[in-house]
Amino acid sequence: MAAQVTSAAAAATACGPAVLTPVFGAIGTEFLTAFTGTHTAHTAALARLAEVLGSIGSAAAGSAAGYQATDAAAAGHLL
């Protein structure tokens, strides 16, 4: 999931305000200024979300390994 969010962040970055500048020209300068700030915050939030999801995945994998080791040890004592 973290990889998918990272991919979405890259796509969002590629579709940033620079792509819209030729469309809006001088008339849309105010909008582009506001959009640039919002877009920057959005891509930063996506990057943070990808980091959090990666951390959650690592923690879940570590917990799963711990549970497996505990179960294997308990099963070994039962035999």
pLDDT tens-digit map of 6-47: 998 899 888 888 888 888 888 889 999 999 999 999 999 999
**Is this prediction's pTM over 0.95?**
no
Q: What is the pLDDT of residue 37?
A: 93
DSSP of the chain: -HHHHHHHHHHHHHTSHHHHHHHHTTTTHHHHHHHHHHHHHHHHHHHHHHHHHHHHHHHHHHHHHHHHHHHHHHHHHH-
Q: What is the pLDDT of residue 39?
A: 94
Q: What is the pLDDT of residue 79?
A: 76
Q: What is the spatial distance between Cα 4 and Cα 7, in angstroms, rounded to a whole number?
A: 5
Residues whose CB is less than 8 angstroms from the CB of residue 20 and which lie 6 or more positions away in sequence, other chains included: 28, 32, 35
